[in-house]
Amino acid sequence: MDIMDKVVITAAVDGPIATPADNPNLPYTPEEFARQAKAVYAEGASVIHIHSRGADGLPTSDYGRTKEILDAVHESCPILTQLSTGGFFPYEERAKLVELKPRMASLNLCTMTFGKFEFRNPPLEVRKVAARMMELGVKAELEIYDSGHLDFALRLLKEGLLLEPLQFSVVLGVDGGAAATPENLNILVNRMPKNAIWQMIGVGAKVNLQLTTIALAMGGNARTGIEDTLWLSKGVMAENPALIRRLVGVAKAIGRTPATVEETEKMLQLPKLN
Ligand code: KMH
Ligand code: ZN
């Protein structure tokens, strides 16, 4: 395997479930998203993964509010924005957010159990949003929680609905998806096309640092943030910049340096927005 020395670090600053009551460091105003974007960028993240949030601090799929958040982040620093189309709102509302033209957007392949929620990703709707993302030049970040999701992504590729290189996020540790084990990571990475790009998302305080560390050693990219763990360590609440600082520290310790925004655009082969 070719271990690249540059690594794309993504900050997933809020997520679709946790509330500010769970962790007061979770951003929800446009100003706070902008402030934290700047802070994680300064720590070495070149991508920020955003779930939109309302004035009450809870997740929202409101188009206008999401635009305000994205605009504020774009004004704050050059970090690349990756907007989530995940979450538990009606699919059409989630899909519409790609019209805001973030540089990337998440694409979830299959319907699944997600903890106590049902995560709906109906096949025809997924195909429609994949096609629309291609038209707009918004690169799909393919979140795969189990091996069938990888197969479905390959099917969409064959149908001409995804751009190569495929950009996978291996998500392990969700109740309803594959368990957070190195074996599962290895199986999924080995089944990807040779030119695919991938990052690790380890869900939960007990596995987040360990699995992202393994991924870094395997030559993958890695993501962390309050979306993936509410805790920095036992009894210490997570803050996004601190999580990024620690992950960048691990990367540097094994000879990998965080990619700049320009390097990330090249490594992920991001298309031009239309
Ligand atoms: N928290 C995640 C791993 C997405 O952003 O599209 C699932 C998720 C999906 O929120
Ligand atoms: Zn997400």
Ligand 1 contact via 171 beta carbon (within 6 Å): yes
Ligand 1 contact via 76 beta carbon (within 6 Å): no
Ligand 1 contact via 227 beta carbon (within 6 Å): yes
CA of 108 to the centre of ligand 1 (A): 8
pLDDT digits (tens, 9 = 90+) for 141-180: 999 999 999 999 999 999 999 999 999 999 999 999 999 9
Q: Which atom of ligand 1 is nearest to the CA of 171?
A: 3
pTM value > 0.95: yes
Q: What was the pLDDT predicted at 4?
A: 77
Residue 28 belongs to domain with CATH number: 3.20.20.70
Which of helix, strand or coil describes residue 213? helix
Residue 273 lies in a domain: no
The neighbour count for residue 72, using CB atoms within 10 Å, is 17
- DSSP-assigned states of every residue in 32-65: HHHHHHHHHHHHT--EEEE--B-TTSSB---HHH
Q: Which domain holds residue 126?
A: 3-268
CA of 113 to the centre of ligand 1 (A): 13
Q: Which of 111, 114, 171 to mutate to test the pocket of ligand 1 (most atoms within 8 A of CB)?
A: 171
Q: What was the pLDDT predicted at 244?
A: 99
How many structural domains comprise the chain? 1
Q: What was the pLDDT predicted at 188?
A: 98
Residue 98 and residue 132 in contact, taking contact as beta carbons nearer than 8 Å:
yes
Using alpha carbons only, give the angle 182, 184, 190 rounded to the nearest 5 degrees.
100
Ligand 1 contact via 143 beta carbon (within 6 Å): yes
Q: Which atom of ligand 1 is nearest to the CA of 17?
A: 1
Residue 274 lies in a domain: no
Residue 230 lies in a domain: yes
The residues of the chain scoring below 50 in pLDDT are 1
